[in-house]
Amino acid sequence: MPKEKPELSDAMKAQMRRKTPEKNPIKGTKFTIAISSAKGGVGKSTFATNLTLALKKIGCRVGLLDADIYGPSVPKMLGINEKPKSDGQKLDPVIKYDVQCMSIGFLTDQQTPMIWRGPMVTSAIKTFTQKVNWKDLDFIIVDMPPGTGDTQLTFSQEIKIDGAIIVSTPQEVALLDVVRGIKMFDKLGVKILGLVDNMSFFVGDDGKKYKIFGEGGVKKTSEEFQKNFLGEIPINSEIGKCGDEGKPIVESDVNHEISKIYLDFAKIIKSTYL
């Protein structure tokens, strides 16, 4: 039975009908990897941040671009409170843990809501991809916002994205949006590296696994759409604690069982591209 064709918004269809500009790589980088969820609240930013640090741990030069304009998380998760320097033309990324970072959160107060229309979001994204002095990076990891809107369209149409990883929890309400994300990237010609099942279970004091969000949904979805299933990340209180303290778990404890999972993901990416 043929798969249902992707459904895009009227605005996205209109933009796609226009002449699509050549997709350009982000200057100063070799490969751009987008981390997407299409659904908020599934741990995408935590994944993007720890994956970035894992790539650094295995010897890659890496940057982290927080493209979630409406809800930037990178400043908090990396404990960054400084503003990027500028020569009046371009911004210098903020360096933390030997990672080059950029976020709208560096330029605004953390409690200030970003009440922006689509064109302003697009302009901000172009600034971060065209007017930041990214330097000699093997990978730039892009923490995408939830949904399938202007940011995703701008990146997919104008920026050379070398691969996307989709993060989800296994519950059905999250997977509905994951399917939309898969169809969007397929429609826009972006290679999906695979799907990750985040917060897939937790281990109780009795040693048993408890799958509170359901079981197997992400893997089943990956098989249905013929995408790679990259693996599971369990719930662990240290993940949130380390993120809140501004030192993500891969940086805080590289030998932690969760850190080892991220290191395995990083090795897959490194071996795929370098």
Q: What is the reported pLDDT for 226?
A: 96
Question: How many angstroms from the chain centroid is the CA of residue 208?
Answer: 30
The percent of residues in the chain predicted with pLDDT above 90, rounded, is 56
Cβ–Cβ < 8 Å for 174, 42: yes
H-only helix segments in 28-171:
44-57, 74-77, 118-130, 150-158
Q: What is the reported pLDDT for 2?
A: 47
User: What domains can you pick out in the chain, each with its CATH number?
Assistant: 21-273 (3.40.50.300)
Q: Which two tokens stand for residue 177?
A: 């949006």
Q: What does the pLDDT look like over 75-127, one tens digit per residue?
A: 999 999 999 999 989 999 999 999 999 998 898 766 666 666 667 877 888 89
Q: What does the pLDDT look like over 3-59, one tens digit per residue?
A: 454 555 665 555 544 544 578 899 999 999 999 986 677 889 999 999 999 999 999
Cα–Cα distance, 24 to 18 (Å, whole number):
17
Q: Which two tokens stand for residue 266?
A: 């990083």
Q: What is the reported pLDDT for 170?
A: 84
CA dihedral sign of residues 75, 58, 272, 174: negative
Cα–Cα distance, 222 to 215 (Å, whole number):
14
Q: Which two tokens stand for residue 124?
A: 């901000």
